[in-house]
Structure 1
């Protein structure tokens, strides 16, 4: 009994409560409901035009003797439907207006059914046998498009009240000649009332209404959950590369730590010089504003060259090329990106100063290529999608080596030769063989991609130049 009462209570308030939902999710639900009302308006307009056309071309029923209300009812309903549709595009229709709309729908149908005994000069019991009553299910079904059980329930209850009103009027209209019968043949062939038949119609309308209301309650629960999940999925796409987010949200099974695959890829690491010491004298708002300007610029360059940001490490950026999706030019793309990042940072100094950076913002970038493992790490309660491998560690150590080497962008000879084989056309700046790099035991043949002086502009890669294989 308690479950039934809770279900009825939920239905009456439109399904699960929206408390606990973020404002943007509630706004998304309201937007969908507003779109549903527009759809309902278009369907109603289509129906009234269809019935008007059908009425105009169909042969007239014989036996009419009184005033024909049908064309006037259709015209009035057409005007009401057009007005309602136009208003739905101007603003979100309030609930009181929707309830009035339901009342108009049912008043039209009940009034039309009531007019039949006048039009054909018959006792009111005549209209109880009209098939026009079946249209009530169209109006009930229309309200289901909104995914709000309250409106379906209201429509069904108003329909039941209207129909019972017609039945009582027919019973009480001519008390001198009782029209109630228990003979089914008399009911079908004459102007009599079979109470059981009218109760059957009432119960069918009620049953359809309740079933649809319960179904919509469950559907509305799913709508809330789906809207919340969709918002979370959209947020996920902002925290991860689109391909990574798609692999997470589209996974057939729940992701577990330890799942991954090995790829040949290039890792790019970029870091702002003297960021910690400089930002210590700035307000948090200024620090975040400068970071936002720099990171927006950097991400645009990285994405433009086919890379994907793996993570932001404070003022550092770890990006991958060929790790998320296979590429035949991953090393060339990464080296081209490193040089473009240095050039773009120089070109955007005014942008950083406007955000509040007090001096010259300088970055260090390094690239290393090799086999990496792409996958999920962490515990069962906290997972992270990332890349691990020697190339990741080497990129970080090479970036630190920029300070010792007095350079702004470095790579090693193996990565550089690989990039040249993949179509890198940028000229060699400087080679420094046998250099000692902190954290790496053996000497490293370094390639300076950007020294202390600005590089000439590096154009964005073109499909022909940067991707000779035609793949990205």
Structure 2
């Protein structure tokens, strides 16, 4: 029962154990909030000083005017704390002292009014400056820690009770200091205890409401930061365009819902990767593959391609799927040519030369999410995907590195050199396909790295 009430009042609980990076992110926001609180308080105090300066003085001839001194002390205190907040992260014990100091100085300022204007002590109980208490309490909501809201409200309530006690005690010798007459309370220096208790209750109620709001907001903040961190990490498993598409979708991504488009598919596979993997250690293999992906990924991004799927060392790259691209066929061909150029002029890992075979097809396909309600994969499906995959494999048979369909070549327009291979059957398909070999730019030979005596034999 208590858990249900707590959940209803404070909202769903946050993560039981926050990861360190989530904790650091929240702490960074708290640090910025403390600076904002400092600047806001300084602005309020400066405004109060300016207001006091330009306001007509009714205390001429008073031998001692404490208000300017209290205001000066307040400006100094707030300025020093603001300066310290830029030097290091203020510890919580310091912030608690600061909260008590803020409220203490405000109460001293209110208390000093009866000295400033040479009136009996109950005079200050009617000062509108009490309203600043609520401003200071609300300022603490900028920091997502309800304990500081509670501390500020409690300090204010205790401070006002102390002022009430002092006002009654200071007038103890008077015949009538406490009254139940509301008119007499407003028009004289008499004390209406009920009215002052009402102020204290109001302070505590506002504090309680803001504290509950803070608990709810903090739990929401923790969940939001944790979820945002997870989403940011998971977005690296898909392309930025797919992540943006998911983030801005009006409805949740559902399996089986896709979009039919005319697009181009590039299937790219490293030649002889199985033999390379056999001779390299796992760490060396991962380093080599990551270097290769970084180089090839840069080329793909240059032409607006999207790496939709990895299949071992092979990549399924799409054009005009998540990003609208009227020149998708030409960009697919340019990507394949530039990949060949990059691989011919670079070494990967510990000096390994790599080659890649590409198959390109253009036509209608469907792009969307497939899988179950619990786990989805954003990918593309269609006959053109299978054609591109088969063409990539057929490069072995014809000694080529880029094979394209006639439709892809025609859609790409002029500016490409190719050799017709013929109308070929593809494994798993009944219809044959007109295939062309795209001519890559001439490779520029690189000097071979020196072979160490104990170096693996596959390194060139």
Q: Offset of 1:301 from its aligned partner?
A: 1.1
Give the aligned partner of residue 357 of structure 2: 364
Q: Distance in 2 between matches of 1:414 and 1:251?
A: 33
Residue by residue over 1:409-447, the C-alpha shift from the partner in whole angstroms, topping out at 9 and shown as x without a partner, is 221222111111xxx52x314321234544444443322
Out of 190, 197, 200, the residue aligned to residue 198 of structure 2 is 200
Q: Distance in 2 between matches of 1:283 and 1:71?
A: 76
Is 1:139 matched up with 2:108? no
Give the aligned partner of residue 51 of structure 2: 54
Give the aligned partner of residue 398 of structure 2: 405
Q: Offset of 1:5 from its aligned partner?
A: 8.9
Give the aligned partner of residue 462 of structure 1: none
| Residue ranges of structure 2 left out of the alignment (5+ in a row) | 446-460
Give the aligned partner of residue 252 of structure 1: 250
Q: Distance in 2 between matches of 1:313 and 1:77?
A: 67
Residue by residue over 1:142-193, the C-alpha shift from the partner in whole angstroms, topping out at 9 and shown as x without a partner, is 1111122111111101111111111111122243325222122221122221
Q: Distance in 2 between matches of 1:283 and 1:113?
A: 76
In structure 2, the CA distance between the partners of 1:378 and 1:322, relative to structure 1 (3 Å rule), is same
Alpha-carbon contact 1:65-1:119 (below 8 Å) kept:
yes
Q: Distance in 2 between matches of 1:413 and 1:348?
A: 31
In structure 2, the CA distance between the partners of 1:236 and 1:454, relative to structure 1 (3 Å rule), is same
Q: Distance in 1 between matches of 2:233 and 2:277?
A: 28
Give the aligned partner of residue 420 of structure 2: 431
**Number of aligned residues:** 444
SS of 2:331's equivalent in the other structure is: helix
Q: Offset of 1:455 from its aligned partner?
A: 7.9
Out of 79, 84, 102, the residue aligned to residue 81 of structure 2 is 84
Is 1:319 matched up with 2:308? no
Alpha-carbon contact 2:14-2:222 (below 8 Å) kept:
no
Q: Distance in 1 between matches of 2:155 and 2:9?
A: 19
Q: Distance in 2 between matches of 1:75 and 1:4?
A: 50
Give the aligned partner of residue 409 of structure 2: 416
Q: Offset of 1:302 from its aligned partner?
A: 0.8
Is 1:2 matched up with 2:2? yes
Out of 38, 41, 44, the residue aligned to residue 38 of structure 2 is 41
Give the aligned partner of residue 284 of structure 2: 286
Q: Distance in 1 between matches of 2:126 and 2:47?
A: 23
Give the aligned partner of residue 455 of structure 2: none
Q: Offset of 1:55 from its aligned partner?
A: 1.9
Map 1:421-460 to 2 at 5 A.
425=415, 427-450=416-439, 454=443
Q: Offset of 1:269 from its aligned partner?
A: 1.3
Q: Distance in 2 between matches of 1:222 and 1:99?
A: 24
Q: Offset of 1:392 from its aligned partner?
A: 0.9
Q: Distance in 2 between matches of 1:8 and 1:255?
A: 30
SS of 2:112's equivalent in the other structure is: helix
Q: Distance in 1 between matches of 2:70 and 2:438?
A: 80
Q: Distance in 1 between matches of 2:31 and 2:25?
A: 10
Task: Choose 44-53 or 162-171, whichever is displaced more.
Answer: 44-53
Task: Choose 376-385 or 389-398, whichever is displaced more.
Answer: 376-385
SS of 1:215's equivalent in the other structure is: helix
Give the aligned partner of residue 448 of structure 2: none
Give the aligned partner of residue 102 of structure 2: 105
Residue by residue over 1:4-43, the C-alpha shift from the partner in whole angstroms, topping out at 9 and shown as x without a partner, is 99589989xxx95653333222222111111111211221
Is 1:154 matched up with 2:143? no
Q: Offset of 1:208 from its aligned partner?
A: 0.6
Alpha-carbon contact 1:18-1:26 (below 8 Å) kept:
no
Give the aligned partner of residue 377 of structure 2: 384
Q: Offset of 1:247 from its aligned partner?
A: 2.3
Q: Offset of 1:62 from its aligned partner?
A: 4.3
Alpha-carbon contact 2:340-2:440 (below 8 Å) kept:
no
Q: Offset of 1:66 from its aligned partner?
A: 4.5
Give the aligned partner of residue 272 of structure 1: 270
In structure 2, the CA distance between the partners of 1:253 and 1:434, relative to structure 1 (3 Å rule), is closer
Out of 12, 20, 23, the residue aligned to residue 23 of structure 1 is 20
Q: Distance in 2 between matches of 1:180 and 1:294?
A: 86
Task: Choose 204-213 or 37-46, whichever is displaced more.
Answer: 37-46
Task: Choose 60-69 or 298-307, whichever is displaced more.
Answer: 60-69
Alpha-carbon contact 2:7-2:13 (below 8 Å) kept:
no
Alpha-carbon contact 1:110-1:163 (below 8 Å) kept:
yes
| Residue ranges of structure 1 left out of the alignment (5+ in a row) | 457-472
Q: Distance in 2 between matches of 1:214 and 1:207?
A: 11
Q: Distance in 1 between matches of 2:354 and 2:4?
A: 66
Residue by residue over 1:214-271, the C-alpha shift from the partner in whole angstroms, topping out at 9 and shown as x without a partner, is 1111111211122122223323432222232122222222222111110010011111
Alpha-carbon contact 2:99-2:152 (below 8 Å) kept:
yes
TM-score scaled by structure 1?
0.87
RMSD across aligned C-alpha pairs, in angstroms?
2.5
